[in-house]
Amino acid sequence: MRLFRRSRLTCFLIFTVPLLLVVRTVVNVYMYNPRLRLPAASDHHANLKRKQTATATHGTAIRSSPGAKFGEIDSQFVEKAEIDLRSPVEPLPIFITVKTGRAYHDTRIPVLLQTWFNYAPNETYFVTDTADGNDSRLTGLGEHLVASGCGEGHDRSSLCCKMGHELETFYLFGKEKDWFCHVDDDNYVNVPQLVHLLSQYGPNEDIYIGKSSLGRPLNMDWQIRMVPSELGNITKEPFWFGTGGAGICVSRHLAKRMEPYVRDGKFVKLCAITRLPDDCTMGFLSESVLRVKMTQSQLLHSHLEIPRVPREQLKKQVTFSYGRLGKWDSLIPLDGSFTRAEDPTRFKSYHCLLNPQVNWCPQHHQGTP
């Protein structure tokens, strides 16, 4: 009797396990089928294409230099000479997308429009879920406000949908720029220093710049075996990814290589395959699929860290964020003439430290860390 039961179990496993593998493979191939378009993405892509200008704006060419090796930290650039923070660089070689949502139009966007956005108004696009037609500050952005139709939540599907629209917006309006950069709506972008950082690398090379929030690579070996063949012969090694909350940048050449994997809703399908959020999936695409290792930059800061930046280095950082990390506030280590109630994000204080000549800044504002 015991032998009979074992035989039945063996037969069940022989026929069931292959069947499950076949079903899983079919599902993955279906998810990655380029002919299957997501309604929310495809509808807006068509609208963007109708708005696309006849000629693209070309950014200023920047000096080419060898890309950094895997795991290299570019903190050596901290000691290099500062550029003039008082005058924007025009035209800018970058294309910036800001991920936001209707829930944050009143709380997060105004301080961005008041501060760093003024350094790159022609190169910055806000990608949201639903546009609020009652807010003149947003409607005045015109095509620089992209209403994606994505979900309003912070779940994987909504985040990946918005990142897909960010990439699509770049390919439609900024693909001739040297760099594509993503930031969140709780980031301050020191635009001149961003340009300075990127000038250390060549846009015609494969460059992926970010900052890890985990401090270690992500192991995906258990799931990499089941991705569709369309992704090619991917590496099964653990991969690094730059957290979206600190900002990530991709060179023009790498963005062009990514295009077949992300356009027309395919980035959302890629997220469904990895079962990971948007920033992790970007790292997977760069490192595991295209085999371009991430260059980590310690000049990028997210809300997932307590920035401990010396006063003399504050002006040289590229991004900052804000939030709550356990019992501590994740804020720019800077006090100034604005009270915490007047400037809870510290973005206004930091902006005035960089640009004391701005008319709404307290006279001779210096700030005190």
DSSP for 149-179, written as a single string: ---SSSSHHHHHHHHHHHHHHHHHHTTTSSE
Residue 127 reports pLDDT greater than 50: yes
Catalytic annotation, pick one of 74, 279, 329, 335: 279
Please, which pLDDT band fits residue 59 given cuts at 50, 70 and 90?
A: very low
Mean pLDDT of 291-296: 96
Hey, what amino acid is at 52? Q
Residue 42 reports pLDDT greater than 50: no
Tokens of 245: 């909350």
Note whether 145 and 139 are within 8 A (CB): yes
Q: Express as a percent the part of the chain with pLDDT over 90.
A: 53
Q: Does residue 155 carry a catalytic annotation? A: no
State the pLDDT at residue 98: 98
Note whether 206 and 290 are within 8 A (CB): yes
State the pLDDT at residue 72: 30
Helix 156-173 / helix 252-262 crossing angle, nearest 10 deg: 120
Residue 290 reports pLDDT greater than 60: yes
Note whether 191 and 120 are within 8 A (CB): yes
More confident residue, 296 or 308: 296
Least confident of 78-87, 167-176, 249-258, 274-283: 78-87
Alpha helices by DSSP H, listed for 66-190, are: 109-114, 136-139, 156-173
Q: Encode pLDDT of 325-366 as tens digits.
A: 787 888 999 887 798 899 999 999 999 999 999 999 986 444
Please, which pLDDT band fits residue 224 given cuts at 50, 70 and 90?
A: low
Environment class of 165 (CB within 10 Å of its CB; exposed 0-12, middle 13-18, buried 19+): buried
Q: Is the entire prediction scored with pTM above 0.85?
A: no
Which residues does 328 contact at the CB level (< 8 Å), separation at least 6? 306
Helix 2-31 / helix 266-274 crossing angle, nearest 10 deg: 160
Least confident of 58-72, 200-214, 238-252, 355-369: 58-72
Please, which pLDDT band fits residue 26 given cuts at 50, 70 and 90?
A: very low
Residue 160 reports pLDDT greater than 90: yes
Please, which pLDDT band fits residue 76 given cuts at 50, 70 and 90?
A: very low
Please, which pLDDT band fits residue 292 given cuts at 50, 70 and 90?
A: very high
Q: CA separation (Å) from 337 to 36, 342, 343, 346, 361? A: 54, 10, 10, 11, 9
State the pLDDT at residue 296: 96
User: How many degrees, rounded to 5, is the angle at CA 30 between CA 27 and CA 34?
Assistant: 155
Mean pLDDT of 315-329: 90
Mean pLDDT of 203-228: 80
Q: How confident is the prediction for the chain on average, in pLDDT?
A: 78
State the pLDDT at residue 62: 25
